[in-house]
Chains A and B, each alone.
Chain A
Amino acid sequence: METGGAAATETRPRRARRRKPLMRRKMQRRVLPWLVIVLLFVLWELVVGAFAIEQFVLPAPSAIFASGWQWRGPILDNSWQTFMTTAVGFAIAVVFGLLSGVAIGSSTLVYDGFYPALIGFNTIPKVAVIPILVIWFGVGTVPAIITAFLLSFFPILVNVATGIATVEPELRDVLRALGASRWQVIQKVGLPRAMPYFFASLKVAITVAFVGSIVAETVASNKGIGNLMLVASSRFEVPLAFAGLLVTSVMGIGMYLVAELVERRMTGWATRGTDTAVGFPG
């Protein structure tokens, strides 16, 4: 430990010298993605202008933004609708995914019984289910919520189950040798251990939930951003359809970032990176 302290003081001046380029690299990492996006749009604009591409084939970004601004009211309304269906479907998936993941991960009996059926269920293309949902619930919000749920449920379940099922046997023995019950082993070790898997799955789940609700809106709804794009393209308002597309990607990125932020907040111990290594004891 003493030698560790000496080494730390020794490296400190070197670290200070290295700090400036490090800051610059951090800035680069923050700015570069935006630069790439802007460049892509500029390139797009130039290509459309240079080859005189018709607007109903590929509208220029300027036209897309203009159309998006013109229709901002309906776009916002429909985005909100899509966001709500996604959020509700996702929330239900989180609850059911967690519960069934715990059940499947902690009991081989439940695992053996239910897993094959769940895999079979998951291989069904969810788009094919939407017409059936429409028969049951009618056109509108409910099929979209259910589609979002169906798509995002499975990744959560699989990840939670994996996290709980892969608890180290020694760790289980330590607890069982203390007289811990099954539930205590799950509570003290299984669940915390499954959390990194769980939060990682949320990133996947929120994205597919979003895809699910948009697909359902496109097929069977009169509301939502998916429906807006469908209506726009049927009226040959191609710039508006593209504007809708842009909004969906922004929303998708936003949801993904929120999921990632939550993940990093909750399970920092599992993704300890170079940043935390600075706090290493001397």
Chain B
Amino acid sequence: MKFVDLERVSLRYGEDEDGTLALEGTTLGVQSGEFVAVVGPSGCGKSTLMKVVTGLWPPTAGTVVVSGQEVSGPLSIVGMAFQNPTLLPWRTTLANVMLPLEIVEPHCRNLRRERARYEAKARDLLALVGLKGFEDHYPWQLSGGMQQRASLCRALIHDPSLLMLDEPFAALDMFTREELWLAMQDLWLARHPTVILVTHDLREAVFLADRVLVMSARPGRIIAERTVQLARPRTLDMTYQPTSVALVHDLRERISVARAQA
């Protein structure tokens, strides 16, 4: 069964015909527990796609179905992480990670009673991404990569069945980025949420995803789809295997074609 199902979705910013058409007739399906990456030329509506799927923006046309229900408003089963870690500077790392628990049902009702249990859970999650010992540090005391790890933990703490990642590793240097790919893979293998990752890094897409979707230039549509056949858990070396390199090359080609059409 498809967990996320977009049927000919269009989205136009602004009310009249002059508004920017960001998505046009986008159809895409994501299986439950699948890791899907969306790549495409810059400004092709990838971030808009995220907003439509999470219900933050209603589509102008078409239907969005998540978990068997048509999306009509913001979903509460989603965890999100962005290029910018967006941690709250007045909260410690631990308190930042626990923020979703204060909002999402049923956790927010149980939080007062079972604080210790939730805290232990948050600490475990932080340890999983290598932030053990930094629970009581403030965001500005962490490096960019560490902040992004904490941001991923925040996106996952409430066990969301859908994880939306909008270029979460784009602002990091190459080595930190690769480290975080591994951390992300560990998180995914441990919990198997459905993930939609928007990225412009093709190696990243190939390393992390089960399936890579290529979007056209604005207005965005899915124009190609490639399945990644690498076994899990994957290693960074695998991205340099001939099959992976060929796949990256192929994806690159698709995007060049998409850009040329723009």
Contact = CB atoms under 8 A, between A and B. Distances in A.
Given A178-B158, A179-B104, A180-B103, A170 B82 contact: yes
B99 A188 contact: yes
8 contacts: A177-B76, A179-B104, A188-B102, A192-B88, A193-B88, A193-B90, A272-B140, A281-B142
Nearest to B108: A184
B212 interface: no
Given A173-B51, A192-B88, A281-B134, A179 B76 contact: yes
A19 interface: no
B90 A171 contact: no
A195 to B, nearest CB: 8
Kindly list the 3 A-B residue pairs having the minimum CB-CB distance in the complex, ordered from nearest: A179-B76, A176-B74, A269-B90
Interface string A159-176: 000000000101101111
Contacts of B90: 192-193, 195, 267, 269-270
Nearest to A171: B86
B86 A281 contact: no
A180 B142 CA distance: 27
- B55, B86, B104: which has the most chain A beta carbons within 10 Å? B86
Contact of A177 (B75, B89, B142): B75
Interface in B88-123: 88-90, 99-100, 102-105
A189 interface: yes
A178 B80 CA distance: 9
Contact of B56 (A176, A188, A272, A279): A176
Interface in A48-88: none
Interface string B52-78: 001110000000000000000011101
B28 to A, nearest CB: 19
B84 interface: yes
Contacts of A267: 90
A168 B83 CA distance: 13
Contacts, number: 71
Contacts of A272: 138, 140
A175 B138 contact: no
B137 interface: yes
A269 B80 contact: no
A184 B158 CA distance: 17
Contact of B86 (A170, A184, A192, A270): A170
Contacts of A188: 88, 99, 102-103
A274 B92 CA distance: 19
B141 interface: yes
B99 A170 contact: no
B6 interface: no
B36 to A, nearest CB: 18
Contacts of A279: 141
Given A177-B54, A177-B78, A179-B76, 6 more contacts: A177-B55, A177-B56, A178-B79, A178-B158, A195-B90, A272-B140
A272 B80 CA distance: 28
B164 interface: yes
